Structure 1
Amino acid sequence: MVYKGSFKDIIYPAASREPRVARYRIVLAGHSNSVRAIVHLVHGEPSQPQQPDLAAVLDVVLGRIVREDLIGVRLDRIQLVVQTGPDFLTYPIRFNALEFRQPKRGVTQSGRNKDEPVHIRSHDVTGGSVAFYVDHNGAKPVAAKLATMLQ
């Protein structure tokens, strides 16, 4: 199953705080038992004015897209793919574990001021529960099959 949404514009601030535009769409790709949402972001289209490096603002752009289109979707089901010309790169998406708040379960214990380790599974983290950010150093070329599907 493959669903390709239509492209939308997203306005974001450049490093100089001037408005810039990028295009994105959401693609749903899945098998019989799992579906993932691929954020397909197109950067540097010839029809757009010359843009600075999008890597500096990927966190802002991803955050806006998640808030508008992917609220409630699990982190482990979201993938970010950035297309620059013919090249497709996928970026890992991370979150700040200190922002994560699990729903309270059971009785609260008063008088505890110590930090305690918490195990957070990626399927517990959803869009809108914490801010997502892009791991810029973890970018990798996408598989040929995925690149073909996105073209």
Structure 2
Amino acid sequence: MIYTGSFKDIIYPSASREPQVARYRIVLAKNPRLVRAIVHLVADEPSQPQRIDILTALDVVLNRIVNTELTGIRHDCMRLVVQSEETLTDYPIGFNALEVKRPRDAAKRPTGTTDEPIHIRSHDIVGGVVAFYVDQDEGRPASAIVKRLLR
């Protein structure tokens, strides 16, 4: 199963806080284990008068897209692929574990007790619950399968 959405515009702040526009779409692709939502973000549009500096605003753009399009979707089912010129780069999506709400029984503990570690599984984190961030240092060229899906 492959679903390819149509491209949409997203406005985001540039490094100088001026409005910029980029295009994105959502592609759903089923692999043998699960369905993945691929956010395909086009960083360079030929119609733009200047190169878009989207890398400085990837976190903002990703969170806006997730909050409007992917609320409730599991973190481990999302991918971000950024297209610039003819290059497709697959960026890992992370989240801040400190934003995860405490378990319900934590509210019943008396004050003054020490914090206890909790186990957080990636598939328990969904869009719209915590802010996501893009690990730009870990960006890798997209696989041949992803390239075929996005072309």
Report the residue type matching 1:44 in the other structure.
D
2:104 is aligned to 104
Could you tell me which amino acid in structure 2 is paired with residue 71 of structure 1? Answer: T
Partner of 2:67: 67
Query: What is residue 30 of structure 1 aligned with on the other side?
Result: 30
Runs of 4+ in 1 over 6 A off after TM superposition: none
Supply the AA of the counterpart residue of 2:8: K
Pair 102,72 (structure 1): closer, same or farther in 2 beyond 3 Å? farther
Residue aligning to 1:55: 55
Q: Deviations over 1:2-37 (max 9, x none)?
A: 000000000001011111000000000003551010
Q: Which moved more, 1:54-63 or 1:99-108?
A: 99-108
1:110 CA displacement = 2.0
Instruction: For 2:100, give the aligned amino acid.
Output: F
Tell me what 1:20 maps to. 20
Root-mean-square deviation over aligned CA pairs: 1.6
Matching residue of 1:43: 43
In the alignment, is the contact (CA less than 8 A) between 2:43 and 2:52 conserved in 1?
A: no
The offset of 1:79, in angstroms, is 0.3
Aligned to 1:77: 77
Which sections of structure 2, spanning at least 5 residues, go unmatched? none
Percentage identity across aligned positions?
Answer: 56
Further displaced range: 112-121 or 97-106: 97-106
TM-score with structure 2 setting the length? 0.93
How far has the Cα of 1:108 moved from its partner? 2.3
CA contact (8 A) 2:43 2:82 kept: yes
The offset of 1:141, in angstroms, is 0.4
Which 5+ residue runs of structure 1 have no aligned equivalent?
none
- Provide, for residues 40-82 of structure 1, a one-character-per-residue CA deviation record: whole Å limited to 9, x for no partner: 0001111113134321100000010001000000000000000
Q: Normalising by the residue count of structure 1, what TM-score does the alignment of the two structures yield?
A: 0.93
Query: 2:73 & 2:120 partners in 1: Cα distance?
Result: 16
CA distance, structure 2, for counterparts of residue 51 and residue 113 of structure 1: 53
**Number of residue-to-residue matches in the alignment:** 151
